[in-house]
Structure 1
Amino acid sequence: MTTLGRRGAALRHAAPRSGGASRDRGTVSLYVVLFTPVVFLLAGLLVDGGLAIHARQRAADMAEQAARAGANEIDLAALRATGEPVVDPGRARAAACELLTAYGDEVAGADCAASTQEVTVTVRITVEPQFLAIFPGFGAFTMTSDATARPVTGAAA
């Protein structure tokens, strides 16, 4: 009977006390409540940061294409007379802006400028955040890019 008594005593000492278990109740809930906004914020920075990078690259692509289209508008009479490519500023500006209007609502704003030597285009794209919009202070933002193109002949390298 001594063996059983000892086993019973060992089991009695190993049993958890009811007072210690109640102190840990709700600890996981507290961590979930505190860290959920942090996880959403980090996910928002990842997703919306990617959207911002993509919008910047897209604006740069649009600006480059429009500037090239404008730089293709060479004054042929001046080219034949001097042998140097000279941009027709009026046609160059119109060609650059016309290309940007083909993108439709994707372009939030654009500026096209042309001289006889180069065409400069600035494109603005508005990005609506997908994740960060749930947090106050995070609204739509604009990404801007510009590009300049000059006419080049086969002789210039």
Structure 2
Amino acid sequence: MTIGDKIPEILGIDQDGHEIKASDYRGRKIVLYSYPKANTSGCTAEACSLQAHKEELAAAGYEIIGISKDKQALQKKFADAHGLQFPLIADTETTLLQQLGCWGEKVACGRHTIGILRTTYLVNEEGIIEKIFTPKEIKTKIHAEQILDAINAAE
């Protein structure tokens, strides 16, 4: 997906077993982010950065939704272990990840694999993507600050 595209209606099932839909957020903005694996150092840093700045993001009108290929039980453990107070979608079939375009080839240590490309989408009140942070742009430890900077620059 690219800037100007509408996100899919059905986003998936979160760590608590709730179906998450784009229409549930109509009238609200979304930070929709994909991450490779729960409880790994980079993904934990990114999630904790977002949780630490959740109130600032909310003040700017944004709600947070995370997505990975992890099973629901692992997403639940991840959320509970780190006090994450936002939905974490368990996209075990990679349906949403593929629709968003954040599932594909990546290179690590010279090895080519297929997997989740760490990506963040800023979505407006109508479900339209307004900004995309690509894997090379995201700094996991300060990702929330990157998002807030982009939001402030756009105003």
TM-score by length of 2: 0.23
Greater relative contact order (CA < 8 Å, ≥ 6 in sequence): 2
Higher helix share: 1
Higher strand share: 2
Q: Indicate the structure (1 or 2) with the bigger Cα radius of gyration.
A: 1
